[in-house]
Copies of this chain bind each other. A is one copy, B any other.
Amino acid sequence: MNGVSGGAAEPGELTLEGLRQRLVEFAAARRWEPYHTPKNLAAALSVEAGELLEIFQWLTPEQAAAVMSDPERAHRVRDEIADVLAYLVQFCTAVGVDPLEALAAKIERNEHRFPVPDEGADVNPDVD
């Protein structure tokens, strides 16, 4: 019921729902569910997003643009992306929200809220 849209993941196929199920089993096998409250998971998500930002905090725009050509930094970036996504998916499971549906609904709202600007108009990317 709390699953990601699209129903059962087919074996071997990489889908958000398939990964979600693996994360649920992973936490259950290690008896981590009591720690996985919505509040704790929201904190952990925020902590991991901070760790991703940490990679960039002192980089110049040029260094930041080339972050993936440094193998050690590239590994850290992939690792932190995985952590953020893992906690987001686990948070969504804890509160019973399908993240893909939530994002689809938000894109619809933003399409009304931020109409496509006229040529030459000033742009301002404040989406939240």
- Using a CB–CB cutoff of 8 Å, the interface residues on chain A facing chain B are 5-6, 13-16, 19, 22-23, 26-27, 29-32, 35-40, 42-59, 61, 64-65, 67-68, 77-79, 81-86, 88-89, 91-92, 95-97, 99-107, 110-111, 114, 116-117, 123-128
A116 to B: closest C-beta gap in Å: 5
> Do A97 and B84 have beta carbons less than 8 Å apart?
no
- How many copies the complex holds: the figure is 4
**The one of B82, B97, B123 that contacts A81, using a Cβ cutoff of 8 Å:** B97
Task: Name the B residues within 8 Å of A81 (CB-CB).
Answer: 88, 91-92, 97, 99, 102-103
- How far, in whole Å, are A64 and B47 apart by their CA atoms in the complex? 17
